[in-house]
Amino acid sequence: MIRQLVYISSVKGDPGAINPDAILHVSRRNNARSGVTGLLYYDGRRFLQALEGEVEAVERLYRHIATDPRHHALVILSDRMVVAREFGNWAMGHARDGEDRAVLIGRIGRLAAKASPAVRATFESFAGLKRLF
């Protein structure tokens, strides 16, 4: 069995100081070592991430994320055991912001195609949100 944990967090401090490409690079390297896979989405203010892997590896990574000073207001949206990885075997998929919304939502739908309907809807809804300010 594989543990799947989905959480959302807000950026603490200046969102402009966040470099999603650097985060993705480090995440892919570290997650490959620990066998954690998943999907990361960053909209410029919040992170939405699915982590999948062995129970201990996912727990260790989430504890690390929870103490990262760039995050605050972490909320676990889903924490469950799955038979197989629903987000594939890549080190960390990444949904880029700033592209056409329809293209973005379609790509996230493909990345999350094997996820449970509720988890898939969470990512698709998050990507589809329009900023109000």
Query: What pLDDT score does 18 carry?
Result: 80
∠46-30-22 over CA atoms, to 5°?
Answer: 50
**2-128 classified as CATH 3.30.70.100:** yes
What is the residue extent of each domain of the chain?
A: 2-128
Ordered per-residue pLDDT tens for the chain, 133 residues: 999 999 999 988 887 788 878 888 888 888 889 999 988 888 788 889 999 999 999 999 999 999 999 889 999 999 999 999 998 776 555 555 566 767 777 777 788 888 999 998 888 788 776 543 2
Identify the bridge partners of residue 81 per DSSP, sorted by sequence position.
3
Check: CB of residue 77 under 8 Å from CB of residue 8: yes
> Is the model's pTM score more than 0.75?
yes
